[in-house]
Amino acid sequence: MSSPKHPAPHDGWAGLRLLIIRLHFYIGLFVAPFIFFAALTGTAYVLAPQIETALYHDTLFTTTTGTPQPLSAQAAAARAFIGPEPRLFSLRPAPAAGQTSRVMFTQPGLPDSETRTVFVDPVTLAVHGELRTYGTSGVLPLRLMLDYLHRHGLLGDLGRNYSELAASWLWVAVISGVVLWSWTRRSTNHRPVRRLHSLIGLWCAIGLLFLSVTGLTWSKWAGDHIDALRGTLGWVTPSVSTTLTVQSPVSTTLTAPASAPAPAVAGDHADHAGQHAGGQGMPMTAPQVPRDPLDLLDPVLAAAQAGGIDSPKVEVRPAKTASLAWVVREYDRSWPTQVDTVAIDPATLTITSRADFATFPLVAKLVRWGIDTHMGVLFGVPNQLLMAALGIGLMVMIAYGYRLWWLRRPPAGAPARVLLAAWARLGGVQKLLCGLIALVLGWALPVLGASLLAFLLIDAVRWWRSARRRVAA
């Protein structure tokens, strides 16, 4: 955030250096508060799992031992607890002894990807409580609040622009900072504050670039462009098709009463579309298919396990209508990643479609690993500590940047040091290239483009006011 003196007007490369300095300064002055808030909430999120486990210990764990009851009995216990209106969305059997199963319900009025989750002792069928959970990771209320703070600051869709603004400019701040350091590293006129600001930025540079890129994949405007690019290049993550060629002869849906229609669930909980049809599983010898939909939970899971679903962290998702297959998927995003998914015809217990992580394109695997690393779940505690260190380092670097600006702020009445004046000192080719780069980035990252226009408007006003003061003087 430093503001050195203007270079001579005839020196184009010095003008480029000044342009980068001014841009880095503007990012630090106007965007850094949003980056700081994103770093603060993101750090809290990645450090929260252990706190969440302790906070909800009685809900998540049980002291009983013995043989687990059938999934149908566990679902029935949850249904008796929650009432008849919510629709059964999915069931996650207890992944290990001493843990409760999660029976997840949706109902009108819940935000996208949120469910009402009833926690059931798989042995005694005792209900340990109900909590709102979110997404594929099934985060509990503590991390749910932190996730919302990180994503949109509790402001809904409008607030998503804050996190996209932070992610859009973070990589620019990092690259411009590294460039400026490379140009000034031989200088001996470095304040300790500036040296610490630069060193922290260098140590964290690669990690911050990673956070910026992976954060943009979740954003609204830039994220849409990234999804379109992935679709054009064939980098889409495979998913199963739930369409059945022949409708099941029995009712296989778990629907709510007519007075409470089941809502569509978006985000991580959205139904898989027919983007990918994997290899067909071998049909099992189907017993008499039960007519009670709850009784389908156990045979459908058994069919999935016979077809290769072997993670203890697995979710059974009933179909919404009789013309769709049930879905069984793994949700273990640690290392090694287990996120295979199969679609099963409940009438024949045949796997009709599958999406195995081992067969994903490399880019789809990298996206999966990148997101999970960003969330601090891929490598467990080391991943959490690394993300927390990046977040803390970023916050400290921003604090040093503001301190540096305060120490080197120009005196009152000094000529304004503006971005447009630096651009005016560039050569013709440099101006053209800078303009083209700004246009391309503004289209690809719309929030960055809109904020850059705001910077330039502020810049023009400051330049005009400074010119008027000089004329008056």
pLDDT digits (tens, 9 = 90+) for 57-76: 999 999 999 999 999 999 99
Render 384-425 in DSSP notation, one character per residue. HHHHHHHHHHHHHHHHHHHHHHHHTPPPTTPPP--HHHHHHT
Per-residue pLDDT band at 293 (split at 50, 70, 90): confident
Does the pLDDT of residue 3 top 50, yes or no? no
Of residues 424 and 8, more confidence is placed in: 424
Mean pLDDT of 99-104: 98
Unique residue bearing structure tokens 């900072």: 177
pTM (2 d.p.): 0.86
- Report the pLDDT value the prediction gives residue 159, as an integer from 0 to 100: 95
Mean pLDDT of 135-156: 95
- Report the pLDDT value the prediction gives residue 265, as an integer from 0 to 100: 32
Tens digits of per-residue pLDDT, 385-420? 999 999 999 999 999 999 988 888 877 666 667 888
Per-residue pLDDT band at 380 (split at 50, 70, 90): very high
- Report the pLDDT value the prediction gives residue 190, as an integer from 0 to 100: 64
pLDDT over 90 percentage in the chain = 71
- Report the pLDDT value the prediction gives residue 281, as an integer from 0 to 100: 41
- Report the pLDDT value the prediction gives residue 185, as an integer from 0 to 100: 75
Does the pLDDT of residue 285 top 80, yes or no? no
Unique residue bearing structure tokens 């601090």: 376
d(CA 142, CA 103): 19
Of residues 275 and 340, more confidence is placed in: 340
Please list the helix, strand and coil fractions of the chain in percent, rounded to the nearest 5, in that order.
Answer: 50, 10, 35
Lowest mean pLDDT among 193-202, 256-265, 401-410: 256-265
- Report the pLDDT value the prediction gives residue 123, as an integer from 0 to 100: 98
Of residues 270 and 375, more confidence is placed in: 375
Does the pLDDT of residue 365 top 90, yes or no? yes
- Report the pLDDT value the prediction gives residue 31, as an integer from 0 to 100: 97
Beta bridge partners of 133: 115
Give all strands (DSSP E) within 266-404, no chain letters: 314-317, 326-330, 341-345, 350-355
What pairing do the DSSP bridges indicate for beta strands 87-92 and 101-106? Answer: antiparallel
Residue 189 neighbours by CB under 8 Å, 6+ apart: none
Average pLDDT, the chain: 87
Give all strands (DSSP E) within 49-199, no chain letters: 87-92, 101-106, 114-120, 127-134
- Report the pLDDT value the prediction gives residue 173, as an integer from 0 to 100: 97
Residue 300 neighbours by CB under 8 Å, 6+ apart: 316, 326, 328, 344, 346, 349
Does the pLDDT of residue 428 top 90, yes or no? no
Per-residue pLDDT band at 264 (split at 50, 70, 90): very low
Cβ atoms of residues 72 and 294 within 8 Å: yes
- Report the pLDDT value the prediction gives residue 121, as an integer from 0 to 100: 98
- Report the pLDDT value the prediction gives residue 276, as an integer from 0 to 100: 33
- Report the pLDDT value the prediction gives residue 188, as an integer from 0 to 100: 59
Say how many C-beta atoms besides its own lie within 10 A of residue 310's C-beta: 11
Whose CA is closest to 150, among 207, 203, 219, 201? 219
The domains of the chain, with CATH numbers, are 12-26+158-224+382-472 (no CATH), 57-139 (3.10.450), 239-254+274-359 (no CATH)
- Report the pLDDT value the prediction gives residue 274, as an integer from 0 to 100: 33
Tens digits of per-residue pLDDT, 302-353? 999 999 999 999 999 999 988 999 999 999 999 999 999 999 999 999 999 9
